[in-house]
Amino acid sequence: MHFYIMLFMIVAFVLLVIYVAKVAVLDFEHRADADVLQVKEAYSKIIQQKDAMSAEKKLLQDEAERIFVLYDLTREITKTFDEDEAFRSFKEALNKQLHVDDCQLVEGLSDQVTDFPSFKGYKFFPLKSKRVVLGELAYRGVSEKEEEAFSILAHQFALALRRIKLYKEVENMAITDSLTRLRTRRHLSERFEEEFARAKLRNAPLSLLMLDVDHFKRVNDQYGHLTGDMVLREVGRIITQSTREIDIAGRYGGEEFCVVLPDTDKAGALQVAERIRCALADQKIKAYDAMLYVHLSIGVATFPEDAIQMEEIMDKADWALYRAKKLGRNRVVGFSVYGE
């Protein structure tokens, strides 16, 4: 009897051990499966993050490449010192990269410009250099996602435009007499040479005026050099007002001036000279406490009537000026023949 009881107890113990072992194994398997699932989820997240990073990297690479292309295109814009040519290059760059229905360079717009029918549906991009507005781009048809690319190109064009304007300012300073605002002697000579070559090629008339302020030394001695400067400034203003835009007026030296008149014969040149002389003679100049009248003597010579060489034209205009001085000043004399 005791034997069977012991056998039963042994069998029960073995079964219990097997059960406990099975439960432990199942629990271990469950834990292992959970760990495997957790590892798989973590790995899946890593793969997703890697894919997202790869996609983001590709987007950044594409964006960087696009920006580099945009900046590369803008090099064409900055190659020229001509505003119209720079704008043409800018529009070509726009059309290569973006879809733009229309883009115009406008200046001096009022705040109400968007109310104008011709600009209906346009957006406006101010072209700024620091705080200075150089102009505006009126554009339409640029999608929202392309606005940034448009902005990059527009900013580069603004830099090019500022560079062009600075160059023109420096160039203008180099060729402009600071006192009279007429051309310098060097620039006048260069332009005279160009116009003379053109006149000779086309067999067209060209005239030269040489002007001198009468008794200018007396003005300086009696009223001072500051008053003399104001007189020269006034002479420059009257010459500018009395000539055409295509004419080239310059300060030749001291109180002497020259005016090149393209496509102008002797009769026309004498009329221009007389108009300048009368305008100054009728002008009462107020210089500080002084009120004075100033007169001009003017010599005129014409191609091809008087000479066929540039140096000869200048010499004969100077001779005519000398004759005007000798005949009593405040007069216009056209070259005829050398003489006393």
Domains recognised in the chain with CATH numbers? 83-175 (no CATH), 185-334 (3.30.70.270)
Taking only the tens place, the pLDDT of each residue in 33-73 is 676 677 777 777 777 777 777 777 767 665 665 666 556 55
Residue 193 CA to residue 152 CA, distance in Å, equals 44
Taking only the tens place, the pLDDT of each residue in 204-244 is 999 999 999 999 999 999 988 889 999 999 999 999 999 99
Cis peptide before 304 (omega within 30 of 0): yes
Read off the tokens for 321: 């000026």
Q: Which residues of 141-173 are buried (b: 16+ CB within 10 A; e: fewer)?
A: ebeeeeeebbebbbebbbebbbbbbeeeeeeee
Taking only the tens place, the pLDDT of each residue in 235-291 is 999 999 999 999 999 999 899 999 999 999 999 999 999 999 999 999 888 877 778
Q: Give the pTM.
A: 0.62
Cβ atoms within 10 Å, residue 201: 8
With 80 as the cut, is the pLDDT of residue 337 above it? no
Residue 207 CA to residue 203 CA, distance in Å, equals 13
Residues 116 and 89 sit within 8 Å (Cβ to Cβ)? no
The predicted structure's pLDDT at residue 86? 81
Q: Which residues pair with 332 in a beta bridge?
A: 298
**Selection from 165, 170, 158, 152 nearest residue 82 by Cα:** 165
Read off the tokens for 112: 């109400």
112 confidence band (pLDDT: 50, 70, 90): very low
Residues 97 and 69 sit within 8 Å (Cβ to Cβ)? yes
The DSSP string of 259-290 is: EEEET--HHHHHHHHHHHHHHHHTPEEEETTE
Residue 332 CA to residue 276 CA, distance in Å, equals 10
